[in-house]
């Protein structure tokens, strides 16, 4: 390992970091070096790409401090028993890489995770040292996301939050049973305890910042987590309920879903095939419904198949819910409350806001709704407008063929 140069280490540890999906740069405090002091910014237009809420693309250097690990989690390619090439950065090397990439305009921030070497405390100390050196020694004002270690001393995790914009702790798997089976060295109670401590620190810091302008910020972009999908027997219903619980209890900014990917020399307890990537996509859509469309976890779970607990892969969860609860439709766009408008397939949050604003002054016709959405054909069976009532469509036994996205054969050599 000592014989590897920086370029070789970067190739190994950047590739090893690709399995970590919880990488985003939204929600942090605005900082820049326009005053001539320090280096970096969280405001510019962007090697990993994340997107801020206003659509800006932020490029992050996404690496592991090391892919060596003392744990032997069955699903992890970097587990102790895995036959992979190992590498390790020093804290100074990560700092120099980050600054070098930033000066070349390749990145605007750093996402740093790590396998566990020596002990949880030692590994966490090294990661905190990277963030401390960037902030204090080099006055780096760009974005920093640290993947913290729940087994580490709480004071070390707290220090990470003082230097990083966002911190995250992976819950790993959706169920406690799955975690015990596939990662016996990790403890769900310790993971949640560390998340709870971070939540308390974030809340306390927000209060302190309001009272004292000089109060140091603690993880201004909040905390996030990640779940592996398809490595255990958890259903989509289990995953949705778990995510909802995490949002409610720990005020997370995001829950990320990562489809299990078969790894070399895999354990016999792992599935032989990866789950469909569309399953991961449907879970992100269900997450969006809970975060922005005011769906409860129970409503999203209701869209899943009653027998299997899995969301349909051929249609999105919102449409699946609407087709399952036909008695709730059609919805009068001129009278319905916001929560029902948000449940109409094909209507986004912006379109709903547009409807609510417009109907204060006049009745909406079908053509008015059409201007607010991409395809009015998909909405027709589910809405009532001033000049439209879907009498025939409402009585049709099976609406799915009419409203489901059409399957198209892709052309291999299309221009």
pLDDT tens sequence across 227-259: 999 999 999 999 999 999 999 999 999 999 998
> CA–CA separation, 35 vs 110, rounded Å?
22
Residue 25 clears pLDDT 50, i.e. is over it? no
pLDDT at 176 over 60: yes
Structure tokens at 405: 């996205």
Q: % helix / strand / coil in the chain, to the nearest 5?
A: 40, 10, 45
Instruction: Please tell me what DSSP assigns to residue 407.
Output: P
173, 229 Cβ separation under 8 angstroms: no
Dihedral over Cα of 322, 327, 331, 336: its sign: negative
**Residues 336, 356: Cα–Cα separation, whole Å:** 9
- Residue 369, Cβ density class (10 Å: 0-12 exposed, 13-18 middle, ≥19 buried): buried
How far apart, in Å, are the Cα atoms of 103 and each of 30, 39, 142, 175, 370?
19, 9, 12, 43, 47
pLDDT tens, position by position, 314-345: 999 999 999 999 999 999 999 999 999 999 99
Distance CA 367, CA 363 (A): 11
What CA–CA distance (Å, rounded) separates 106 from 100?
A: 9
Cβ contacts of 158 within 8 Å, gap of 6 or more: 197, 201, 218
Query: Measured between alpha carbons, how far is 384 from 160 in angstroms, rounded to an integer?
Result: 53
- In this structure, the number of other CB atoms found within 10 A of the CB of residue 267 comes to 14
For residues 285-295, average pLDDT: 96
Q: Is 180:173 a contact under the CB 8 Å cutoff? A: no
CA gap 303, 347 in Å, rounded = 17
Q: Collapsing DSSP states into helix, strand and coil, what is residue 61?
A: strand
| Dist CA 283 CA 272 (whole Å) | 21
Q: What is the DSSP letter of 84?
A: -
Peptide bond into 213 cis (omega under 30): no
Three-state secondary-structure class, residue 410: coil
**Residue 49: pLDDT band with limits 50, 70, 90:** low
Higher pLDDT, 217 or 43: 217
pLDDT range class, residue 48, cuts 50, 70, 90: low
**Residue 361, C-beta contacts closer than 8 angstroms, at least 6 positions apart:** none
Task: Determine the pLDDT at residue 411.
Answer: 60
Which pTM was predicted? 0.86
Residues 364 and 385 sit within 8 Å (Cβ to Cβ):
yes
DSSP letters for 142-169: SEEEEE--TTS-HHHHHHHHHH-SEEE-
Q: Are strands 57-64 and 48-51 parallel, antiparallel or unpaired?
A: antiparallel
């Amino acid at each position: 390992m000592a014989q590897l140069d920086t370029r070789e280490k970067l190739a190994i540890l950047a590739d090893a970091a690709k399995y970590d999906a919880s990488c985003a740069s939204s929600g942090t405090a605005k900082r820049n070096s326009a005053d001539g002091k320090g280096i970096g910014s969280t405001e510019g237009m962007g090697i990993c790409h994340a997107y801020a809420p206003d659509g800006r693309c932020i490029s992050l250097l996404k690496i592991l401090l090391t892919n060596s690990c003392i744990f032997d989690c069955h699903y992890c390619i970097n587990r102790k028993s895995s036959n992979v090439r190992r590498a390790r950065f020093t804290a100074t090397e990560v700092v120099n890489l980050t600054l070098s990439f930033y000066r070349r305009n390749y990145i605007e921030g750093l996402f740093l995770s790590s396998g566990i070497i020596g002990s949880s405390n030692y590994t966490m100390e090294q990661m905190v040292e990277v963030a401390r050196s960037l902030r204090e020694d080099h006055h780096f004002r760009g974005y920093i996301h640290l993947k913290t270690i729940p087994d580490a001393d709480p004071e070390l995790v707290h220090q990470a939050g003082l230097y990083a914009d966002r911190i995250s702790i992976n819950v790993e798997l959706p169920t406690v049973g799955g975690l015990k089976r596939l990662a016996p060295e990790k403890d769900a109670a310790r993971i949640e305890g560390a998340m709870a401590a971070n939540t308390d620190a974030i809340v306390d810091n927000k209060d302190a910042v309001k009272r004292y302008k000089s109060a140091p910020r603690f993880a201004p972009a909040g905390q996030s987590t990640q779940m592996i999908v398809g490595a255990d027997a958890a259903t989509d219903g289990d995953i949705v309920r778990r995510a909802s619980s995490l949002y409610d209890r720990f005020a997370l900014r995001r829950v990320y879903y990562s489809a299990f990917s078969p790894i070399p020399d895999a354990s016999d307890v792992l599935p032989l095939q990866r789950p469909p990537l569309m399953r991961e996509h449907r879970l992100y859509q269900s997450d969006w419904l809970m975060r922005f469309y005011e769906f409860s976890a129970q409503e999203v779970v209701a869209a899943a198949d009653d027998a299997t607990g899995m969301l349909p892969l051929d249609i999105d969860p919102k449409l699946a819910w609407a087709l399952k609860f036909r008695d709730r439709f059609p919805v009068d766009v001129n009278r319905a409350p916001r929560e029902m408008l948000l449940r109409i397939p094909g209507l986004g949050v912006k379109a709903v806001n547009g409807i609510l604003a417009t109907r204060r002054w006049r009745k909406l016709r079908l053509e008015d709704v059409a201007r607010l959405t991409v395809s009015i054909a998909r909405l027709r069976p589910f809405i009532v407008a001033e000049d439209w009532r879907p009498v025939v469509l409402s009585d049709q036994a099976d609406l799915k063929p009419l409203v489901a996205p059409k399957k198209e054969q892709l052309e291999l050599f299309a221009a």
